[in-house]
Amino acid sequence: MTRRSVRKNQLGVTAVEFGLIAWILVFSLVAIMEISRILYTWNSANEATRFGVRAAVVCQRNDTGLVLKRMQTFLPSLTADKILISYPAANADPPNFTSVEISGLTIASVFPMFEFPIPIPASRAVITAESFVGTADAGEFYSWLCDPNK
């Protein structure tokens, strides 16, 4: 065989090899993007619970709408049925804990071939009212949290 005929027989081999391997590359990229979105949403849920419990402690008791609005700063898709706010009993001795929990949160896949909801682990934040009492100007510093116009 001459050198020219060997080269002619090899035409298209690269395209065939790429066709065999390309689906692995595409699947890997899709998986990385989906996992990144899940981790981003999970982190946003954690930050939303931390911010929500601050608002729950500082603002008026049982103002769930305002707490939800503050939490939606970090997680816009959050709805009231996904959060649970627990206040301490009115006559509770310290430490009186306030907690905010997000549970049952799911996200839909970006790609239509994966039609199932992806669950996000529950997030919970707990804080005591004493954390804000005794700090200098705590009420003034956090007063913007309770303003429904902001």
Q: How far apart are the C-alpha atoms of 121 and 133, rounded to whole Å?
A: 32
Please answer whether residues 122 and 103 qualify as being in contact, where contact means their C-beta atoms are separated by less than 8 angstroms: yes
Please answer whether residues 136 and 148 qualify as being in contact, where contact means their C-beta atoms are separated by less than 8 angstroms: no
Please answer whether residues 85 and 60 qualify as being in contact, where contact means their C-beta atoms are separated by less than 8 angstroms: no
Mean pLDDT per block of 10 residues along the chain (150 residues) reads 64 84 91 90 94 85 86 91 86 75 88 79 84 52 68
Exposed, middle or buried: residue 148 (CB in 10 Å: 0-12, 13-18, 19+)?
exposed
| End-to-end CA, the chain | 80
pTM of the complete model beyond 0.85 = no
